Chains A and B, each alone.
Chain A
Amino acid sequence: MSNAAVLIKDLGFTYPRQSTSCFTNLNLEVAEGERFGLFGPNGAGKTTLMNCMTGLLKYQQGSIQLLGNEIAHQKKSVNKLFGFVPQDFSFYQELSPVENLAFFGAWSGLQKSEIKNKTEELLEVMSLTEVRNKKVEKFSGGMKRRVNLAIGVIHNPRILFLDEPTVGVDVHTRHAIITYLKKINEEGTTLIYTSHQLSEAEDLCNKVALIDDGKIIAHDTLEQLLIDHQEDGLEGLFINLTGHSYRN
């Protein structure tokens, strides 16, 4: 069995000043090298769980380990191990891609020469070379998504958390992003991904978990889950397990 990239044991989390817990005794393991997809309806707890895994939220109970490091105890050293691509554009719109990469590269702990090399590589891969010195605020949504992703991977993280990385982009950009994610996964980066784009998830993920009402209700390879629940696609499986009712 491969080592755990993420190991969650008996996780309990409640938002401050709220009486209802988001998670109670939640357990989950993501192996190194996996392309793991976390899915669920709105309000199921996907983003909260991802925020707990990345240390953005402090959990009250249980443990979360990234590559064997407890995130609550060694936060800053653990932060070197992973990258995060939030759903929102998480960079400075007033700056160019080069300036953003230089700043976030430094904050990721890279040296000047490393930043320079990695910046050139990422601009090339993300097709941003021609606009390298233009302010990001002038970019299209697809270009901003690529900048967002480039910043998340500048320090070659061993685990990459992606919160809906392709929302609002055209087919070409989506294809380019998915292709790049598969490439870095082959090079050893574990992907932990959430999205509402289930067809895209089928293409990208080799392991999925469905979360609803703060509980993991299914967790296996996509093929096995489809066999177990006699479904022919992730969308059918999703409806089967989470029901048809609207979620807020």
Chain B
Amino acid sequence: MFKLWSTISKDFRILTRDKLGLIFMFVMPIVLAVVITAVQNSTFEMLNTNTVPMLICNRDTGDAGKQMQTAIEKVGMFKLTQVTPNVTDKEISERMHAKDAVIAIVIPTDFTQKLQSKADATAKKALKDFGMSTTDSLVTDTSSVQPITLLYHPVLQESFRHSINGALRSSLQVVQNKEVLKSLYFALNEKTMPDSFENEIIGNQVAINEVPVSRDGSRNIPNASQHNVPAWTVFAMFFIVISLGGSVVREKLNGSFVRLKTLPTNYLIALISKQLTYLFITCIQALVVFSMGIWLFPSMGLPKLNLPADILGVVIVTLICGWCAVSYAIMIGVLAKTQEQSNGIGAVSIVLMAAVGGLLVPSFAMPESFQFIMKLSPLHWCLEAYYGLFLEGGKLKDVILNIIPLLGISFAIQLITLYSLKRKNLI
């Protein structure tokens, strides 16, 4: 026990004197968590709370264009800026490049007329299908309605563009339905549909009740911090490979390792010491980043990190993730022949495992061919375990299926390390 304690003490002293290593271990995850959360949060806010700046050029002189504009306003997703009808598409594009707006819509000149004609045709066809005669007052124009043009800034992500497109289609649907209804009403009653009736029919839509599926039954909507803080904590834990892998290689390359081999103590003590020392560091990393999420993020205008109800679960998941990260770093250190190899292979492999593991791209968005590779990444299981607790409100028992593969990978890494040490006659 004294040997182990002396080794831990030695490792801790060396670690605390490695300023660059400490910066990598603590500053990097904090910076990553803050920056990525801030970026993602601004997107969240743009989608959820803020309105998207939109230029609207209504070249239509009739009611439908105005109704379309009103319907878009009612979506609540856009901050509309009216531009005069005589402004050309090119001028609109220039304003968008000047970041006046990220999207613009152009309602064509004869939008009302064409839409009414189309509605009349639809109404006429419907009445005919019902076996009712139509009056001559329903004059139809068979030429198609010119499309509404949606101009968008290239920076706009496809998914976001799709959601805007959906919102516009829904607005357009409202206007079209209204016109069809008005035509039908007029054909049946030979008088204009009253506004009250119009509002009753159009406005009386079935509501959609949004419920986040959480295991604990809470209705807290996960924010950017809930996503990013655990993810970048896991990334930081594994990035310990720079410090720990380098430490193992340094020890191997300098003479101290030769001397250790001639002393009456098994090198496994050194490995156990490194695991305990750096496991402690990973726990401190998690503590620091989580604390930042809870106390510092709100003061920076970022959403607060809400800790899950099962704190013990968080502690256990953190310990297991940390142990896996430390095991991986030691394995890289043992396999690498130089510090450059350890740093290079270590850093690149962590970024790759983060990418395939769902830290950089959501795991559900991974192509089918990557699903198997994803399951080999320990970062994937770490992230899933944390998400089970932080996003889904689960308890330890709910993430046990993520912990088992993680433990399996950790044991496999340990075995590879021991085999390599044995093969190199180091133990």
Contact = CB atoms under 8 A, between A and B. Distances in A.
A220 interface: no
Interface in B138-158: none
B262 A84 contact: yes
B254 A90 contact: yes
A94 B14 CA distance: 6
A88 interface: yes
9 contacts: A76-B264, A84-B258, A92-B14, A102-B10, A107-B6, A107-B7, A107-B263, A108-B263, A108-B264
B256 A91 contact: yes
Given A84-B262, A108-B264, A90 B3 contact: no
A88 B262 CA distance: 14
B425 interface: yes
Contact of A90 (B5, B259, B264, B265): B259
Given A103-B10, A107-B6, A111-B2, A92 B262 contact: no
Of the listed residues B17, B261, B264, B265, the one surrounded by the most CB atoms of chain A closer than 10 A to its CB is B264
Interface string A38-54: 00000000000000001
A151 B10 contact: no
Contact of B261 (A55, A95, A112, A152): A55
A196 interface: no
Given A86-B258, A95-B14, A103 B7 contact: yes
B258 A106 contact: no
Of the listed residues A87, A94, A108, A151, the one surrounded by the most CB atoms of chain B closer than 10 A to its CB is A94
Contacts of A77: 264
Interface residues of B, number: 25
Interface string A67-89: 00000000011011010101111
Of the listed residues B3, B258, B262, the one surrounded by the most CB atoms of chain A closer than 10 A to its CB is B262
Nearest to B262: A84
Given A80-B264, A94-B14, A95-B13, A102 B6 contact: yes
A28 interface: no
Nearest to B259: A90
A112 B263 CA distance: 17
B10 A88 contact: no
Interface in B248-294: 254-256, 258-266, 269
Contact of B265 (A54, A57, A93, A109): A109
A90 to B, nearest CB: 3
Contact of A54 (B5, B14, B255, B262): B262
A176 interface: no
Interface of A: 54-58, 76-77, 79-80, 82, 84, 86-95, 99, 102-109, 111-112, 135, 151-152
A55 B262 contact: yes
Contacts of B258: 56, 84, 86, 88, 90
B309 to A, nearest CB: 43
Contacts of A107: 3, 6-7, 260, 263-265, 269
Of the listed residues A57, A105, A109, the one surrounded by the most CB atoms of chain B closer than 10 A to its CB is A109
Interface string B328-371: 00000000000000000000000000000000000000000000
B256 A90 contact: yes
A18 to B, nearest CB: 15
B3 A88 contact: no
B63 interface: no
A154 to B, nearest CB: 10
A99 B256 CA distance: 14
A58 B425 contact: yes
Contacts of B265: 76, 107-109
B18 interface: yes
Given A94-B17, A94-B18, A76 B266 contact: yes
